Structure 1
Amino acid sequence: MTLQDILLPDCTCCAISGSSKKRILDQICTIASDKISEHSPYELLESLVSREKLGSTGIGNGIAIPHGRLANAKSVVAVVVTTETPIDFDAIDNKPVDIFIALFVPEDACKEHLTTLQSIAKLFGNKQIAKQVRKCQSNEELFKLIQQNT
Protein backbone atom coordinates (compact mmCIF):
# COMPACT_ATOMS: atom_id res chain seq x y z
CA MET A 1 0.00 0.00 0.00
CA THR A 2 1.38 3.40 -0.94
CA LEU A 3 0.78 6.83 0.55
CA GLN A 4 -1.16 7.77 -2.59
CA ASP A 5 -3.56 4.86 -1.93
CA ILE A 6 -4.53 6.04 1.54
CA LEU A 7 -4.09 9.83 1.61
CA LEU A 8 -7.28 11.89 1.40
CA PRO A 9 -7.45 15.58 0.43
CA ASP A 10 -8.75 16.66 3.84
CA CYS A 11 -5.82 14.93 5.55
CA THR A 12 -3.30 17.14 3.78
CA CYS A 13 -2.36 20.47 5.35
CA CYS A 14 0.15 22.96 4.05
CA ALA A 15 2.18 25.42 6.16
CA ILE A 16 0.56 24.94 9.56
CA SER A 17 1.98 26.74 12.55
CA GLY A 18 3.54 24.78 15.34
CA SER A 19 6.28 25.47 17.79
CA SER A 20 6.98 22.05 19.28
CA LYS A 21 6.95 18.34 18.62
CA LYS A 22 3.93 17.86 20.89
CA ARG A 23 1.99 20.69 19.24
CA ILE A 24 2.54 19.26 15.75
CA LEU A 25 1.55 15.76 16.89
CA ASP A 26 -1.59 17.25 18.53
CA GLN A 27 -2.56 18.93 15.26
CA ILE A 28 -1.96 15.75 13.27
CA CYS A 29 -4.18 13.81 15.68
CA THR A 30 -6.96 16.39 15.45
CA ILE A 31 -6.93 16.06 11.66
CA ALA A 32 -6.89 12.25 11.83
CA SER A 33 -9.66 12.03 14.43
CA ASP A 34 -12.24 12.99 11.81
CA LYS A 35 -11.37 9.77 9.97
CA ILE A 36 -10.91 7.48 12.98
CA SER A 37 -14.16 7.75 14.89
CA GLU A 38 -13.44 4.80 17.17
CA HIS A 39 -10.51 6.66 18.81
CA SER A 40 -10.27 10.07 20.46
CA PRO A 41 -7.58 12.58 19.48
CA TYR A 42 -5.95 11.81 22.84
CA GLU A 43 -5.78 8.07 22.03
CA LEU A 44 -4.27 8.88 18.65
CA LEU A 45 -1.69 11.10 20.31
CA GLU A 46 -0.84 8.34 22.77
CA SER A 47 -0.18 5.94 19.89
CA LEU A 48 2.26 8.39 18.28
CA VAL A 49 3.97 9.31 21.56
CA SER A 50 4.40 5.63 22.45
CA ARG A 51 6.21 5.06 19.18
CA GLU A 52 8.33 8.21 19.58
CA LYS A 53 9.51 6.93 22.98
CA LEU A 54 11.16 4.03 21.14
CA GLY A 55 13.14 6.52 19.04
CA SER A 56 12.41 9.54 16.94
CA THR A 57 10.62 9.00 13.64
CA GLY A 58 12.52 11.96 12.21
CA ILE A 59 14.29 10.27 9.29
CA GLY A 60 16.48 13.22 8.32
CA ASN A 61 16.43 15.96 5.69
CA GLY A 62 13.60 17.75 7.48
CA ILE A 63 11.21 14.77 7.27
CA ALA A 64 9.44 12.75 9.97
CA ILE A 65 7.12 9.77 9.70
CA PRO A 66 5.33 9.55 13.05
CA HIS A 67 3.20 6.44 13.21
CA GLY A 68 1.10 4.52 15.68
CA ARG A 69 -0.83 1.29 15.90
CA LEU A 70 -4.45 1.30 17.02
CA ALA A 71 -6.52 -1.50 18.48
CA ASN A 72 -9.90 -1.90 16.78
CA ALA A 73 -9.04 0.48 13.94
CA LYS A 74 -10.76 -0.40 10.67
CA SER A 75 -8.32 1.08 8.13
CA VAL A 76 -5.05 2.92 7.69
CA VAL A 77 -5.21 6.71 7.87
CA ALA A 78 -2.45 9.00 6.63
CA VAL A 79 -1.97 12.68 7.40
CA VAL A 80 0.58 14.86 5.60
CA VAL A 81 1.42 18.29 6.96
CA THR A 82 4.11 20.84 6.36
CA THR A 83 4.98 23.54 8.85
CA GLU A 84 5.62 27.23 8.27
CA THR A 85 8.96 26.89 10.00
CA PRO A 86 10.92 23.73 10.84
CA ILE A 87 10.71 22.47 14.42
CA ASP A 88 13.02 20.39 16.58
CA PHE A 89 11.89 16.78 16.35
CA ASP A 90 14.98 14.87 17.56
CA ALA A 91 15.58 13.65 13.99
CA ILE A 92 18.46 11.27 13.32
CA ASP A 93 20.45 14.04 11.62
CA ASN A 94 19.63 16.53 14.42
CA LYS A 95 18.05 18.88 11.88
CA PRO A 96 14.59 20.44 12.40
CA VAL A 97 11.60 18.96 10.59
CA ASP A 98 9.03 20.68 8.37
CA ILE A 99 7.46 17.72 6.52
CA PHE A 100 5.39 15.23 8.52
CA ILE A 101 3.82 12.09 7.09
CA ALA A 102 1.80 10.46 9.88
CA LEU A 103 0.25 7.00 9.78
CA PHE A 104 -2.36 5.41 12.01
CA VAL A 105 -2.65 1.68 11.36
CA PRO A 106 -4.72 -1.19 12.72
CA GLU A 107 -2.74 -3.29 15.20
CA ASP A 108 -3.06 -6.40 13.05
CA ALA A 109 -1.81 -4.79 9.81
CA CYS A 110 1.95 -5.18 10.38
CA LYS A 111 2.88 -6.26 6.86
CA GLU A 112 0.88 -3.50 5.15
CA HIS A 113 2.27 -1.00 7.66
CA LEU A 114 5.88 -1.84 6.79
CA THR A 115 5.16 -1.70 3.06
CA THR A 116 3.56 1.74 3.44
CA LEU A 117 6.48 3.04 5.52
CA GLN A 118 8.90 1.82 2.84
CA SER A 119 6.94 3.55 0.06
CA ILE A 120 6.89 6.81 2.05
CA ALA A 121 10.62 6.65 2.76
CA LYS A 122 11.29 5.98 -0.93
CA LEU A 123 9.03 8.82 -2.12
CA PHE A 124 10.41 11.40 0.31
CA GLY A 125 13.97 10.12 -0.05
CA ASN A 126 13.87 11.89 -3.40
CA LYS A 127 15.20 15.35 -2.51
CA GLN A 128 13.40 16.89 -5.50
CA ILE A 129 10.03 15.72 -4.14
CA ALA A 130 10.82 17.14 -0.72
CA LYS A 131 11.86 20.44 -2.31
CA GLN A 132 8.58 20.59 -4.29
CA VAL A 133 6.55 19.74 -1.16
CA ARG A 134 8.18 22.64 0.68
CA LYS A 135 7.17 25.01 -2.13
CA CYS A 136 3.46 24.09 -2.01
CA GLN A 137 1.20 27.04 -1.19
CA SER A 138 -2.10 25.25 -0.52
CA ASN A 139 -3.50 22.00 0.84
CA GLU A 140 -4.82 21.12 -2.62
CA GLU A 141 -1.45 21.73 -4.28
CA LEU A 142 0.27 19.53 -1.68
CA PHE A 143 -2.26 16.72 -2.14
CA LYS A 144 -1.99 16.83 -5.95
CA LEU A 145 1.80 16.78 -5.83
CA ILE A 146 1.83 13.65 -3.70
CA GLN A 147 -0.76 11.95 -5.89
CA GLN A 148 1.28 12.67 -9.02
CA ASN A 149 4.47 11.09 -7.64
CA THR A 150 3.88 7.37 -7.41
Structure 2
Amino acid sequence: MHLGDFIAPEAVLPSLKTKSKKQLLVELSVRASRLAGLQERDVFDVLWQRERLGSTGLGQGVAIPHGKLPGLKRIVGIFARLAEPIDFDAVDSQPVDIVFLLLAPEGAGADHLKALARISRLLREGTAIEKLRACKDSAAIYAVLTQEEASSHAA
Protein backbone atom coordinates (compact mmCIF):
# COMPACT_ATOMS: atom_id res chain seq x y z
CA MET A 1 0.00 0.00 0.00
CA HIS A 2 1.37 3.37 -1.09
CA LEU A 3 0.25 6.85 -0.07
CA GLY A 4 -0.68 7.47 -3.70
CA ASP A 5 -3.29 4.71 -3.31
CA PHE A 6 -5.40 6.86 -0.99
CA ILE A 7 -4.39 10.48 -1.46
CA ALA A 8 -5.11 12.33 -4.68
CA PRO A 9 -3.34 15.50 -5.85
CA GLU A 10 -6.53 17.50 -5.19
CA ALA A 11 -6.49 16.29 -1.56
CA VAL A 12 -3.33 18.30 -0.77
CA LEU A 13 -3.89 21.64 0.94
CA PRO A 14 -0.64 23.67 0.93
CA SER A 15 -1.65 26.57 3.19
CA LEU A 16 -4.83 25.92 5.17
CA LYS A 17 -5.87 28.79 7.42
CA THR A 18 -7.45 27.72 10.69
CA LYS A 19 -7.38 28.97 14.27
CA SER A 20 -8.17 25.87 16.33
CA LYS A 21 -8.21 22.09 16.40
CA LYS A 22 -12.01 22.02 16.15
CA GLN A 23 -12.07 24.47 13.21
CA LEU A 24 -9.38 22.39 11.47
CA LEU A 25 -11.40 19.20 11.87
CA VAL A 26 -14.50 20.97 10.51
CA GLU A 27 -12.52 22.18 7.46
CA LEU A 28 -11.08 18.72 6.84
CA SER A 29 -14.53 17.15 7.26
CA VAL A 30 -15.96 19.45 4.58
CA ARG A 31 -13.21 18.52 2.15
CA ALA A 32 -13.32 14.81 2.99
CA SER A 33 -17.10 14.71 2.53
CA ARG A 34 -16.66 16.05 -1.01
CA LEU A 35 -13.94 13.51 -1.85
CA ALA A 36 -15.71 10.53 -0.29
CA GLY A 37 -19.38 11.37 -0.86
CA LEU A 38 -20.22 11.38 2.86
CA GLN A 39 -22.02 13.82 5.14
CA GLU A 40 -19.73 16.47 6.66
CA ARG A 41 -21.29 15.97 10.09
CA ASP A 42 -20.66 12.21 10.03
CA VAL A 43 -17.00 12.76 9.19
CA PHE A 44 -16.57 15.42 11.86
CA ASP A 45 -18.31 13.32 14.54
CA VAL A 46 -15.97 10.37 13.93
CA LEU A 47 -12.88 12.61 14.03
CA TRP A 48 -14.02 14.49 17.13
CA GLN A 49 -14.87 11.28 18.99
CA ARG A 50 -11.40 9.93 18.19
CA GLU A 51 -9.73 13.13 19.45
CA ARG A 52 -11.68 12.87 22.70
CA LEU A 53 -10.04 9.46 23.31
CA GLY A 54 -6.62 11.12 23.03
CA SER A 55 -4.96 13.59 20.75
CA THR A 56 -3.73 12.37 17.37
CA GLY A 57 -1.00 15.02 17.60
CA LEU A 58 2.14 12.87 17.42
CA GLY A 59 4.66 15.57 18.23
CA GLN A 60 7.17 17.57 16.17
CA GLY A 61 4.31 19.58 14.66
CA VAL A 62 2.54 16.54 13.16
CA ALA A 63 -1.02 15.23 13.63
CA ILE A 64 -2.80 12.29 12.01
CA PRO A 65 -6.52 12.58 12.76
CA HIS A 66 -8.25 9.40 11.65
CA GLY A 67 -11.38 7.31 11.89
CA LYS A 68 -13.53 4.63 10.33
CA LEU A 69 -16.86 5.42 8.69
CA PRO A 70 -19.76 3.24 7.61
CA GLY A 71 -20.64 3.82 3.98
CA LEU A 72 -17.10 4.74 2.97
CA LYS A 73 -16.01 2.69 -0.06
CA ARG A 74 -12.22 3.18 0.11
CA ILE A 75 -9.50 4.67 2.26
CA VAL A 76 -9.31 8.45 1.82
CA GLY A 77 -6.45 10.72 2.82
CA ILE A 78 -6.07 14.49 2.94
CA PHE A 79 -2.79 16.27 3.60
CA ALA A 80 -2.83 19.81 4.99
CA ARG A 81 0.01 22.15 5.76
CA LEU A 82 -1.31 24.89 8.00
CA ALA A 83 -0.62 28.55 7.27
CA GLU A 84 -0.01 29.04 11.02
CA PRO A 85 0.64 26.28 13.59
CA ILE A 86 -2.21 25.60 16.01
CA ASP A 87 -2.53 24.00 19.43
CA PHE A 88 -3.54 20.37 18.93
CA ASP A 89 -2.96 18.96 22.42
CA ALA A 90 -0.02 17.05 20.94
CA VAL A 91 1.99 14.65 23.11
CA ASP A 92 4.98 17.06 23.14
CA SER A 93 2.74 20.14 23.66
CA GLN A 94 4.13 21.68 20.44
CA PRO A 95 1.76 23.36 17.96
CA VAL A 96 0.86 21.43 14.81
CA ASP A 97 1.39 22.57 11.21
CA ILE A 98 1.45 19.25 9.31
CA VAL A 99 -1.80 17.25 9.27
CA PHE A 100 -2.63 14.03 7.45
CA LEU A 101 -6.30 13.05 7.73
CA LEU A 102 -7.07 9.37 7.18
CA LEU A 103 -10.55 7.92 6.80
CA ALA A 104 -11.21 4.21 6.28
CA PRO A 105 -14.27 2.05 5.66
CA GLU A 106 -15.70 0.53 8.83
CA GLY A 107 -14.47 -2.97 7.94
CA ALA A 108 -10.96 -1.98 6.82
CA GLY A 109 -9.07 -3.35 9.84
CA ALA A 110 -5.61 -4.28 8.54
CA ASP A 111 -5.65 -1.83 5.62
CA HIS A 112 -6.51 1.04 7.97
CA LEU A 113 -3.57 0.11 10.22
CA LYS A 114 -1.20 -0.30 7.26
CA ALA A 115 -2.19 3.13 5.95
CA LEU A 116 -1.68 4.71 9.39
CA ALA A 117 1.74 3.04 9.67
CA ARG A 118 2.79 4.32 6.22
CA ILE A 119 1.79 7.87 7.06
CA SER A 120 3.40 7.73 10.49
CA ARG A 121 6.69 6.38 9.11
CA LEU A 122 6.88 9.13 6.50
CA LEU A 123 5.95 11.93 8.89
CA ARG A 124 8.42 10.83 11.57
CA GLU A 125 11.27 11.02 9.06
CA GLY A 126 13.03 14.37 9.55
CA THR A 127 14.05 15.09 5.96
CA ALA A 128 10.55 14.36 4.64
CA ILE A 129 9.02 16.83 7.13
CA GLU A 130 11.60 19.48 6.19
CA LYS A 131 10.78 19.01 2.50
CA LEU A 132 7.01 19.16 3.15
CA ARG A 133 7.42 22.40 5.09
CA ALA A 134 9.61 23.89 2.35
CA CYS A 135 7.36 23.04 -0.63
CA LYS A 136 5.87 25.99 -2.47
CA ASP A 137 2.64 24.41 -3.74
CA SER A 138 0.35 21.38 -3.62
CA ALA A 139 2.00 19.67 -6.61
CA ALA A 140 5.39 19.79 -4.89
CA ILE A 141 3.89 18.47 -1.64
CA TYR A 142 2.16 15.63 -3.49
CA ALA A 143 5.44 14.75 -5.19
CA VAL A 144 7.24 14.61 -1.82
CA LEU A 145 4.48 12.47 -0.30
CA THR A 146 4.54 9.95 -3.12
CA GLN A 147 8.26 10.04 -4.02
CA GLU A 148 9.58 9.83 -0.46
CA GLU A 149 7.65 6.65 -0.02
CA ALA A 150 8.82 5.21 -3.32
CA SER A 151 12.45 5.89 -2.43
CA SER A 152 12.05 4.36 1.04
CA HIS A 153 10.77 1.14 -0.58
CA ALA A 154 13.69 1.03 -2.99
CA ALA A 155 16.24 1.15 -0.18
- The residue number in structure 1 matching 2:153 is none
CA RMSD in angstroms comes to 0.9
- The residue number in structure 2 matching 1:126 is 125
Deviation at 1:64, TM superposition (A): 0.3
Deviation at 1:4, TM superposition (A): 2.6
Q: Name the SS of the counterpart of 2:139 in structure 1.
A: helix
- Taking the TM superposition and a 5 Å limit, the aligned residue runs for 1:1-150 are 1-37=1-37, 39-150=38-149
Deviations 1:83-115 (A, max 9, x none): 011100000111000000001101100111111
Deviation at 1:53, TM superposition (A): 0.8
Q: Is the 8 A contact 2:15 2:82 kept in 1?
A: yes
Q: Is the 8 A contact 2:2 2:146 kept in 1?
A: no
Q: What TM-score, normalized by structure 2, do the two folds share?
A: 0.93
- Alpha-carbon distance between aligned partners in 2 of 1:149 and 1:27, rounded to the nearest angstrom: 27
Counterpart of 2:69, as a letter, is: L
The range that moved more, 56-65 or 132-141, is: 132-141
Q: Is the 8 A contact 1:58 1:64 kept in 2?
A: yes
- Identity of aligned pairs, percent? 34
Q: Is the 8 A contact 1:2 1:120 kept in 2?
A: no
Q: How many residues align?
A: 149
Q: What TM-score, normalized by structure 1, do the two folds share?
A: 0.96
Deviations 1:29-86 (A, max 9, x none): 111111211x211111111001111100001100000001101211110000000111
